[in-house]
Amino acid sequence: MVKGDKIVDLRDNSVHIVDSIDVYDTITLVFTEGKQYIPMENIRVFTNEEIIKDVIDKNPDILSDYEDKITKQVSESFELHLKNLSKKLGLI
């Protein structure tokens, strides 16, 4: 875990961003940008899936770029397949 990582406080499921980690004799505390200390045993780091979902939720236009690219690639591939099939069947 490093500065800037997103974490979830398991006590209330709130989301925080790591600022620093402090280690004391018997406890490790994560200090957040929201100026809160959270004991290490009460947190979990965001999963890759959660990070991706968070980015897409905040920037939905990202998907439209991929939709256009995927649609173009699929249609071009399908058109090429139909052209090759038509040649094999002697239609063109």
Q: Give whichever of 24-28, 44-48, 75-79 has the largest mean pLDDT.
A: 24-28
Three-state SS letters, 11-33: CCCEEEEEEEEEECCCCEEEEEC
1-58 under CATH 3.40.50, yes or no: no
Q: What is the pLDDT of residue 69?
A: 80
Rounded Cα gap, residues 85 and 83, in angstroms: 5
- Identify the H or E element spanning 87: helix 61-88
How is the chain split into domains, by residue range?
1-58, 60-92
- Residue of higher predicted confidence among 72 and 27: 27
- Which amino acid is present at 53? K
User: Whole-model pTM?
Assistant: 0.57
Q: Which tens digit of pLDDT belongs to each residue from 45-68?
A: 988 888 888 888 888 887 777 777
Of the chain, the percentage scoring pLDDT greater than 90 comes to 45
